Amino acid sequence: MSGRPRSWLLRVALVAAALLRPEQHARPLAARPVPRPRSQAPGSLKCFLGALKMEMTEVTGVSLKRGSHAVEDNDCVAPSEEAKRQKVLDGGLTTGQDGLEHVSPPSSVDVPGPPAAVSAGEGRKNSDVQVEEEEEEEEDGLSEEGEEEEEAESFADMMKHGLTELDVGITKFVSSHQGFSGILKERYSDFVVHEIGKDGRISHLDDLSVPVDEEDPSEDVFTVLTAEEKQRLEELQLFKNKETSVAIEVIEDTKEKRTVIHQAIKSLFPGLETKTEDREGKKYIVAYHAAGKKALANPRKHSWPKSRGSYCHFVLYKENKDTMDAINVLSKYLRVKPNIFSYMGTKDKRAITVQEIAVLKITAQRLAHLNKCLMNFKLGNFSYQKNPLKLGELQGNHFTVVLRNITGTDDQVQQAMNSLKEIGFINYYGMQRFGTTAVPTYQVGRAILQNSWTEVMDLILKPRSGAEKGYLVKCREEWAKTKDPAAALRKLPVKRCVEGQLLRGLSKYGMKNIVSAFGIIPRNNRLMYIHSYQSYVWNNMVSKRIEEYGLKPVPGDLVLKGATATYIDEEDVNNYSIHDVVMPLPGFDVIYPKHKISEAYREMLTADNLDIDNMRHKIRDYSLSGAYRKIIIRPQNVSWEVVAYDDPKIPLFNTDVDNLEGKPPPVFASEGKYRALKMDFSLPPSTYATMAIREVLKMDTSIKNQTQLNTTWLR
């Protein structure tokens, strides 16, 4: 197709854009990379359109967006680097908030849509993860949609080799009610998460107004510069060429016009300074770097009013996008680095989530302008404050969850929900902590702790049972055949995945320095592996503790007094309940229970060739200090209702955006083809909503199990 004239391509683009128009409930998502199409049968429309999108992006610079929601606005175009990487959200298999996608009965159910896959590194509820400056731009590319014709079979095939709850120590329940089945996340809008701030208030997006500030520039700053001028300024700002300045001619030379251009450059391109120059009788605004490369990361101090707090706090509403991806999108549109954003906890992808974000020296006006540009995002509730947000400051999250097509009777639902409210659930780490493929993340973590770096490399790069994306299969095959990192890397169109980063490291440092090569992977991703191993041990030990001693505290159990763990003595055992008992994640700075479970910890770590008495690692990052975690969690603010419905596609409750738009809440009939359980509950940080739902349904929440129950949906 490269030989075709560009005018022909442009004409076909219009046809393609129409063909790509989504269904009403599917909305395009901005700023995602375009996947390179895999080979298809000749004549395939999807292959043709995929090739066309690549051709149009590479040859003409045109990016095809799905849907009719895009806004024609120069200021709403992502930076040039990002514009080349636009991607269509194709409604395929995607990662889920909190891991659990479809929980369904063993029999076939007439409900549309396949269960969604869970990415290995995602789903860590409120984990202490900050955005990396350089490496964590987009997700690793493993979640990009491929061909629908191949996807169903390959996903089911992959899950045959995935993990079950038994594999990661999730074996016990606390209640005696009879379980039932239902479908979670048939739509991502069935899972809504609202952050609970440090003041105990639940975050809601309910105000889109911008604080009145006389210091703010006029709205003209967003339109005064042409797209070409913005392109040149961006390249100057990001040091993408050898230019030391950019001169913009002032066509209508008035002081007001010059002022607006000065303001536009300074506000849209942090790090650039401006001055006015006369050149041959014409006025020019000249932009240049004020303080070298550091200025890009640190917006100019003198451009911000002293009376205004340095941080703009806002509520971010997002659909089907995790926190770090969302911040990367915002930073690209604002032309700043992601590390000027802060937040209290990460929220995962396949859900609607509402949380507070803070950003350094970006005006509410600029942030509000993004509402015109971005799909599936909404920013509001702006305020200026002195301090950023800190990870872990939140009190928890409030969940609104719909389980569709439930099979339980009203009595079963009542028993299950009363048990959840009064007793709670075992605080297991959920399945998404451990990955979905034949190589669980905890195995890599164990190898790191053992200092077995060849095994670490092998576990990440070796061919795996089951299906993966085509380019990953080819990459692994090349690695197994040649052990040549450069050759294997050439098989990857997306280099930001963990495999690509490790191969890049091996190319740079050589096979004899795997430690340094592994170090190229962002720190948070590396630590994910060893945290996964700690979680694996904790799950197994908690199951043993409950099997051995049941749901009551016993002498030798641990409880927290402040931040310090102490033992329960025989004489004061009646002063505690099972909700007070904690158990340690293994590390050098924790104590272990004084009963049989202490020996169980030792035996498990010894079997893994680890010394429980020496959890320090030669590399400081991989030394485990350990922590304590409550074994039973009782949700707060629990409420529920069973509703009847006929259309599986209709939303069963209003979101914050629905309420802002004045949409009336859904009205339910007394009878319908289906029944759904709508649940509301609040959980503390670092707990998994899927484990609460598991306790209600009494079903294995692993993707492997759900896939086996639902293979008919995948065909």
Number of alpha helices (DSSP H) and beta strands (DSSP E) in the chain: 21, 18
What CA–CA distance (Å, rounded) separates 206 from 209? 9
Burial class, 423, CB count within 10 angstroms (exposed 0-12 / middle 13-18 / buried 19+): middle
Residues contacting residue 84 through CB under 8 Å, at least 6 positions apart: 57, 58, 61, 63
Six token digits for residue 547: 């099997």
The phi, psi pair for 558, rounded to 5°, reads -110, 140
pLDDT in tens, 561-614: 998 999 999 999 999 999 999 999 999 999 999 999 999 999 999 999 999 999
**486 SS3 class:** helix
pLDDT at residue 135, rounded to an integer: 34
Residue type, 622: Y
Nearest partner of 116 among 97, 141, 139, 138, judged by Cα: 97
Amino acid symbol at 259: T
**Contact between 122 and 321 (Cβ < 8 Å):** no
Mean pLDDT confidence for 56-82: 38
Query: What homologous superfamily does CATH list for 527-630?
Result: TruD, catalytic domain (3.30.2350.20)
- pLDDT value, residue 79: 52
Residues 6+ apart with CB under 8 A from 325: 138, 139, 349
SS3 351: coil
Q: Would you say 215 and 305 are in contact if contact means Cβ atoms under 8 Å apart?
A: yes
How does residue 518 score in pLDDT terms, banded at 50, 70 and 90? very high
Contact at 8 Å (CB) between 25 and 6? Answer: no
The stretch 621-633 carries a mean pLDDT of 94
Does this model's pTM top 0.85? My answer is no
Give tens-digit pLDDT for 8-57. Answer: 444 444 444 444 433 333 333 333 333 333 333 333 333 333 333 333 33
**Token pair in block for residue 638:** 């629990």
**pLDDT tens, position by position, 206-264:** 999 988 765 555 666 667 788 888 888 877 877 777 777 888 888 777 777 778 888 78
How many Cβ atoms from other residues are within 10 Å of residue 686's Cβ? 17
| pLDDT for res 160 | 53
- CATH second-level architecture of 198-211+305-394? 2-Layer Sandwich (3.30)
Q: Are the C-beta atoms of 205 and 657 separated by less than 8 Å?
A: yes
CA-CA distance, 406 to 675, in Å (whole number)?
Answer: 6
Instruction: For residue 581, list its beta bridge partners.
Output: 559
Look up residue 231 and give its amino acid: Q
Q: 90, 190, 322, 348: which is the annotated catalytic residue?
A: 348
Kindly indicate the confidence band of residue 77, based on its pLDDT and cuts at 50, 70 and 90: low
Active site residue 216: no
- Token couple for 164: 């079950």
Rounded to whole angstroms, the Cα distance separating 179 from 456 reads: 40
Higher pLDDT: 194 or 46? It is 194
Question: In the sheet that 558-561 helps form, which strands lie side by side, from edge to edge?
Answer: 564-567, 558-561, 581-585, 627-630
Per-residue pLDDT tens digits for 366-412: 899 899 888 899 999 999 999 999 988 999 999 999 999 999 999 99
Q: Phi and psi dihedrals of 49, rounded to 5? A: -65, -40
The structure tokens listed for 253 are: 């030379």
Tokens of 339: 């590390």
List CB contacts of 715: < 8 A, sequence separation 6 or more: 152, 153
Indicate the SS3 state at residue 469.
coil
Q: What is the mean pLDDT of residues 139-145?
A: 31
Residue 247, beta-bridge partner list: 286
Q: Residue 711 has what pLDDT?
A: 37
Contact 436, 158 (CB under 8 A): yes
Q: How far apart are CA 581 and CA 595, in angstroms?
A: 14
Element (H, E) at 476: helix 470-482
pLDDT digits (tens, 9 = 90+) for 692-715: 999 999 987 676 655 554 433 333
Give me the pLDDT at residue 470, please: 80
Q: What pLDDT does residue 682 have?
A: 97
pLDDT of 433 strictly over 80: yes
For 634-651, what is each residue's pLDDT tens digit?
999 999 999 999 888 888
pLDDT range class, residue 553, cuts 50, 70, 90: very high
- State the pLDDT confidence band at 129, using cuts at 50, 70 and 90: very low
CB of 529 within 8 A of CB of 582?
A: no
Q: What pLDDT sits at residue 217?
A: 59
Task: Give the pLDDT score at 703.
Answer: 65
Task: Please report where in the chains the tokens 């939140």 appear, as a residue.
Answer: 394
Q: Report how far residue 595's alpha carbon sits from residue 382's, in angstroms, rounded to the nearest whole number.
A: 52
219-289 CATH pick, 1.10.620, 1.10.60, 3.30.1370, 1.10.287: 3.30.1370
**Distance (Å, whole) CA 581 – CA 567:** 10
C-alpha 150: how far from chain center: 25
What percent of the chain lies above the pLDDT cut of 70?
A: 71
Find the helix packing angle between 453-461 and 470-482, rounded to 10°.
Answer: 140
- Residue boundaries of the structural domains of the chain: 180-191+401-423+637-714, 198-211+305-394, 219-289, 462-521, 527-630
Radius of gyration of the chain (CA): 27
Report how far residue 497's alpha carbon sits from residue 505's, in angstroms, rounded to the nearest whole number.
12
Each residue's pLDDT tens digit, 20-31: 433 333 333 333
Q: Which residue in the block uniquely carries the two structure tokens 């003041």? A: 199
